[in-house]
Structure 1
Amino acid sequence: MSLKLLLLVLTGLFWSIAYFDIIRVGLKQKTYGMPFLALSLNLTWELYNTVQGFLMVGFHIANTINLIWVVMDLMILYTYFKYGNSHLKIKPLLFYLGSIFIILVSFLLQYWIGEEKGLVLGAVYSAFWSNLLMSLLFIPLYYKRKNLLGQTLLIAYTKCLGTLAITILVGIIGINSLGGKISSITYIGGLTFIVDVWYIYLVHKRVKA
């Protein structure tokens, strides 16, 4: 197995573990474990790029991983719709319509990025910026809940390790189909990694409290 393939597999493995644990604790604790805006961008990115990937390339390990993530994101979305309003406490109609509106806008954003930047590069930049946003949004979620509801060290660590693996692959080593390494991705991924480490520290701190 080449180093590039290994890093791709590790990214898929680490993030899949994080997704699985978000689903597990969400169902067990009757909550949702991923900030909704990040979930919306994740889900629409994976739907859009998985469909486009299979249409353009057919079977590929990256498309297969993305398809698995689509299913997992839909399960996380289920926990959000089932338990999310217990945190927000707004009128149910506003909660559901507002959430659906955000998902639709997120999908249009993915489409626009794909049209403007091209399908491949657009997918890369959108994924890394969305990943950074997710990491940033985990911090206020942590402080807002004042406990570890929907959050675990496993989620924190595997989210961070997945970020590290894909940043090394795309930003430092480079992928031929992307024209080699992309230095700007190194900075975005590096910043995301720093935020992820901060989140790990916060979760550790609360676990020990």
Structure 2
Amino acid sequence: MDLILTAVSGLAWTIVYISAIRIGFRHRTYAIPMAALGLNFAWESIYAVHDLMSGLSPQTVVNIVWALADLVIVYTFFAFGRAEFPRFVTRSMFTVWGVLLFAASYAVQWLFIVQFGSSVGARYSAFLQNLLMSGLFIAMLIARRGLRGQTLTIAVAKWLGTLAPTLSIGLLDHSAFVLGIGVLCSVFDLLYIGLVLWARAHPDALATTDTPIPGAEQARETAASGAGPV
């Protein structure tokens, strides 16, 4: 059962990353909230290297695939992300901020390892950053006033990708912490799925603003036509 749930999680999150890469280039933006992107990339690269040194396993392969996919999403962040900020944020300011964000993300992951060890630290940090990500996806939809850089595929696959290890570690391994955080992730993920469905049905509802938002018109047209990724 553990192997099946690991495979489900690996497949679901791989779908998230592939969809994020696709919609990121299509809408010329980043499709994973920036704080969550930094923490995810740090987690995956650190534990991919750690697991390779310890021996190859299904989760090691998954971590490597995720890290490589995340690397492309990191590129979309630095290539297109400046447009998501106010004009006073220059390209150089944005780049420095991005580098600082990723450096801080690595520091946080290493602090988890120092405090809890690699095995427990990996679980605690993974679920806490997943909870952060679940909330940040909702915040991103609201901040962008629509579905620019977001799809229903990402929303559903993110939920399933977190639900699988919640069942594996939280229920089968009897971890109350993981089960509790995983349930909270599902609450926010299901709320986000509902918001995405609502935004697809009402593409102009969130886009009402006095200040033009970069890419908003394209996102509204894509959602209205139904031609974009789902």
User: Normalised by the size of structure 2, how large is the TM-score?
Assistant: 0.85
Q: What is the match of residue 142 of structure 1?
A: 141
Q: Report the Cα offset of residue 99 of structure 1.
A: 0.7
Q: What is the match of residue 227 of structure 2?
A: none
Q: What is the match of residue 96 of structure 2?
A: 97
Mapped to 2, the partners of 1:8 and 1:27 lie a distance apart of 29
Mapped to 1, the partners of 2:163 and 2:137 lie a distance apart of 17
Match of 1:192 among 164, 185, 189: 185
1:73 paired with 2:70, answer yes
1:6 paired with 2:4, answer yes
Q: What is the match of residue 18 of structure 1?
A: 16
What amino acid maps onto 1:93 in structure 2? S
Mapped to 1, the partners of 2:121 and 2:84 lie a distance apart of 34
Q: How does 1:20-169 map to 2 (within 5 A)?
A: 20-56=18-54, 58-89=55-86, 90-169=89-168
Mapped to 2, the partners of 1:142 and 1:192 lie a distance apart of 17
Q: Provide structure 1 residue ranges, at least 5 long, that are not aligned to the other structure.
A: 175-180
Mapped to 2, the partners of 1:64 and 1:163 lie a distance apart of 18
Sequence identity (%): 36
Q: Report the Cα offset of residue 54 of structure 1.
A: 1.1
Q: What is the match of residue 177 of structure 1?
A: none
Partner SS state of residue 102, structure 2: helix
What amino acid maps onto 2:140 in structure 1? L
Q: How does 1:172-191 map to 2 (within 5 A)?
A: 172-174=171-173, 181-191=174-184
Mapped to 1, the partners of 2:4 and 2:39 lie a distance apart of 26
Partner SS state of residue 197, structure 2: helix
Q: Report the Cα offset of residue 138 of structure 1.
A: 0.6
User: Normalised by the size of structure 1, how large is the TM-score?
Assistant: 0.94
Q: Report the Cα offset of residue 9 of structure 1.
A: 0.1
Mapped to 1, the partners of 2:42 and 2:177 lie a distance apart of 23
Following TM superposition, the consecutive aligned residue runs of length 4 or more in structure 1 with deviations greater than 3 angstroms are: none
Deviations 1:82-120 (A, max 9, x none): 110011131111100111011111101111110110110
Deviations 1:42-75 (A, max 9, x none): 000111111111112x111101100000011110
RMSD of aligned alpha carbons: 0.8
Q: Provide structure 2 residue ranges, at least 5 long, that are not aligned to the other structure.
A: 203-230
What amino acid maps onto 1:86 in structure 2? A
Mapped to 1, the partners of 2:152 and 2:176 lie a distance apart of 30
The structure that has the greater radius of gyration is 2
Q: Which has the higher helix share?
A: 1
